[in-house]
Amino acid sequence: MFRLLSALMELIDVPMQFVQKYLRGHRIAWMFLLPNLILFGLFAFLPILLNIAYAFTGTDNIMLWERTFVGADNFTTLSRCENYFDANSCEKDFFWRSVHNTAIFIVLQVGLMVGFSLLTALILNQKIRARGFFRSVFFFPVLLSPVVVALIWKWILQRNGLANAGLEALGMDRIVWMLDRHWAFFWSVFLSVWAHMGFYTLILLAGLQAIPRDVYEAALMDAAKPFRTFYRITMPLLMPTMLVVMVLALIKGVQTFDEVYAFTGGGPGSATTLIIQYIYETGFAGAPRLFGLASAASIILALVLAALTFLQLKATRKNADG
């Protein structure tokens, strides 16, 4: 295996040496960048440009030249609403429902996620035994695939599942969790927090451990009480990390799809349909494939993400400065 690789590299060396004769000095760097630039060009830049083109054209033809220019029609169609807070009053009620769902989803998810991650990080930052082990315990679900996460919880929440057994043991009636829109939404948020909080815990823990010990020792010398130390020292010093975590969670939260889709399929009804699922179903799953509408929705999503990314960069910079 290694010999084969070695021979392959020697083989590549021949043309590369030839190129090196012409691209003198540091200009040879372009040769090393070439494969990446091709990939980026084809699968990142071209799509960005095409996305804009598709958003402003109509019909269900795939090829760009067969599509007719429709101006901002796709956007106005999406935004035609009597009341933006009532999805039923909109022409594209499915789109607006997914927007509303996503909004509620991220508020709950980010709130719970940051809250639990912070609590967990604070607890793990104490002088406890086997900290590495406990850190991995909370981190473990991060590695599971979204589909596996969805199935694990679906199995627990099924009619004859563990959750209902627990309810009966407590003397309550069984609930058909997945057919109740509120419960389905709750569990979607829950499993998404369950699956991802380990990641944010890790970042917050790193932030906590970056706070110098001697600051705490100084506080101790100043006779500060534990809660006061937390409010006056830990929180302000952790704030930059918190900010990064919040924005990062927000960016990822908006893009949630996999685990919720595999968990509920967007249902019951459209109770748990999120924005990415709307794009997916409009562009790929349904017939006709409404690429224009899907692209327009993508652009709206991209703008939201761009704003959030901008916030993140600001937060990161503040973090680096502070």
Partner 1 sequence: MASVVKFLTGTRGKGRLHWTDWFTYAYLLGGILLMFGPVLWLVASSFKTDAELDKFPPRFLPHAALTVELEGHDKPLPLFKVTKGDLAGEQVAQVRRIGLTSQVVRLSEPDKKIKISVKDREPMEKISIATKNYTDLFRKFDFLQFFWNSTFITVAATIIMLIVNSMAAFALSKYQFKGRATVMAIVIGVLMVPQTVVLVPLFIVTKELGMLDTLWGVIIPGAATPTGIFLLRQYMLTIPDEILDAARMDKASEWKIYWRIILPLSAPAIAVLAILAIMWRWNDFLWPLIVLSRTENFTLQLALNSFQGEMATQWSNLLAMTVLTLLPVALVFAFLQKYIATGIASTGGK
Nearest Cα residue to 105 out of 244, 257, 292:
257
Pick out residues in 90-109 that bind partner 1 (CB under 8 A).
Answer: none
* Residue 152 makes contact with partner 1 by CB under 8 A: yes
* Residue 165 makes contact with partner 1 by CB under 8 A: yes
Residues 204-243: x where in contact with partner 1 by CB under 8 A, - otherwise, as a string = --x-------------------x-----------------
**Of 75 and 194, which CB lies nearer to partner 1 in the complex structure?**
194
* Three-class DSSP category at 90: strand
**Of 238 and 244, which CB lies nearer to partner 1 in the complex structure?**
244
* Residue 46 makes contact with partner 1 by CB under 8 A: yes
Q: DSSP string spanning 194-239?
A: HHHHHHHHHHHHHHHHTS-HHHHHHHHHTT--HHHHIIIIIHHHHH
* Residue 176 makes contact with partner 1 by CB under 8 A: no
* Three-class DSSP category at 158: coil
**Of 53 and 235, which CB lies nearer to partner 1 in the complex structure?**
53
Q: How far is the CB of 82 from partner 1 (least distance, A)?
A: 28
How many residues belong to the site for partner 1 (CB under 8 A)? Answer: 100
**Of 79 and 255, which CB lies nearer to partner 1 in the complex structure?**
255
**Of 11 and 83, which CB lies nearer to partner 1 in the complex structure?**
11
Specify whether the CB–CB gap between 102 and 92 falls below 8 A: no
Query: Helix 291-321 and helix 235-254: axis angle, to 10°?
Result: 170
